Structure 1
């Protein structure tokens, strides 16, 4: 992989995402990475800006109530991430004096922080040359190095493989940007790619995946419309907008399928995202 060409391209095309400013704290980077999981950065950026202004430190965020956190999370999706981030802030205050740790192992020990997020914080804020592999990096690596059009499945060896082709934090960020803007999932813009001349997929003649491979990949894509996740989101919209506990009748109107609606509602309760009162009303956790 021609990393010099990649970095030159990144210098010209890097998006001005707010968390890429030089004065962004480790906490700001951590929030951006948690918010960006399975969520487009175009939706994350304004939400991130509001959060970092409202809760600029882990200590500030740890003092917030769960209801405040869930209302501020809005429609970013997967709201359990918000509660785990709240737990993470509390752990940072209790165990690290309010400072985000710079060690990957200590980051991994924080609630809700997985392998990708821990390495991303260590890499993008603390400047450590640790491999950071997300969907975009996995796809770019698969095409440029192994010649696979479809991104490979995560494996225990991928960190070591990616580490072989990255030269530092900026290179890792450039790989992600290339996957987001050029080497996209369905329609890569190969004519605009700075590393097309060294891309293994190009050198193999751009072989297309088989019907079987496409079918498997399609199954892995998570649907949204009509799923319990959509119903959960509609129920959460009602709870976030309410200033007081809501009657079940107010929740019943959001979805016609009573069985699915009930299943979604009680899964929210099981996940700690909603609370049922003794009188049968519902509200956000406090």
Structure 2
């Protein structure tokens, strides 16, 4: 995979995303990476801009209740990410001088920060030469390097593959971003734009005639009727109010399956996203 060809393509094709602008802090990069997990870029831009204006440093978020942060999370999905980011903000404010650390090992010790997020922050916020592997990167490597249509299950090999591709100079962080962008815009999962790909002449998958995926079928996640949908509807009731609500209001959010509704409500309580007040009402965490 010729690094300069990919870098030249990225210089022309990169999206003008706000978290790529000069002067963006490690904290603001961290917010973007948490929001972008399992959420399309188009849905993240607006909320990210609102969040970095409202909470420019970790201590500003740490001063809020968990419930207020979850309320601000809105429709981004998987609200536990908001709760974990709030926990992370408290640790950063108390133990890291209100700043995000620049090394992977320290980042991994923060609440809610996994291997991908730690490496992404170290790379994109602090310019470190570390491999950053998401679904897009895994797909590009599977095709361009290994000649398979889809990557296998995530493994330690992914980091090894990505590290071997990194240029041995100061362009490594830019290369990581370019590899990710290529997977997002060109080497897509269902309809790759091979004719527009800067790597088409060296792509092993193309050279092999684009063989079809011969592994287990890719599972698609449905949303309608799932516990995740019901959890979201219940949270919507609480996000839309500034105080606790009675159980009857929550019951009206999902009447299709009462057992499923009860299960979803219990899971929100177990996760700590909502609480029950002393008089039996329901509210977002920290607002009892």
CA apart distance, 1:253: 1.5
Distance 1:154 1:83 in 2: 26
Match of 1:117 in 2: 117
Does residue 181 (structure 1) correspond to residue 185 (structure 2)? The answer is: yes
User: Which runs of no fewer than 5 residues in structure 1 stay unpaired?
Assistant: none
CA apart distance, 1:214: 5.1
- Are 2:275 and 2:282, in contact at CA under 8 Å, matched by a contact in 1? yes
Q: Deviations over 1:121-174 (max 9, x none)?
A: 100111110000000000000000000101222111221211111220000000
User: Which runs of no fewer than 5 residues in structure 2 stay unpaired?
Assistant: none
CA apart distance, 1:277: 2.3
Distance 1:200 1:153 in 2: 20
Match of 1:241 in 2: 240
Match of 2:44 in 1: 44
State the 4+ residue runs in structure 1 displaced beyond 3 angstroms: none
Alpha-carbon RMSD: 1.0
Match of 2:142 in 1: 142
Distance 2:240 2:98 in 1: 31
Q: Deviations over 1:40-94 (max 9, x none)?
A: 0110110000000000011111111112101110011111111110111111122
Match of 1:4 in 2: 4
- Are 1:18 and 1:45, in contact at CA under 8 Å, matched by a contact in 2? yes
Match of 2:72 in 1: 72
SS at match of 2:112: coil
Q: Deviations over 1:104-132 (max 9, x none)?
A: 10000000000000000100111110000
Distance 2:93 2:277 in 1: 31
Match of 1:252 in 2: 251
Would you say how many aligned residue pairs link Structure 1 and Structure 2? 281
Distance 1:101 1:17 in 2: 23
Deviating more after overlay: 43-52 vs 221-230: 221-230
SS at match of 2:145: helix
Match of 2:197 in 1: 193
CA apart distance, 1:262: 0.4
Deviating more after overlay: 150-159 vs 38-47: 150-159
- Are 2:67 and 2:274, in contact at CA under 8 Å, matched by a contact in 1? no
Distance 1:175 1:234 in 2: 37
TM-score normalised over the length of structure 2:
0.95
- Are 1:224 and 1:230, in contact at CA under 8 Å, matched by a contact in 2? yes
Correspondence list, 1:53-132, <5 A: 53-132=53-132
Distance 1:237 1:214 in 2: 36
Distance 1:204 1:25 in 2: 43
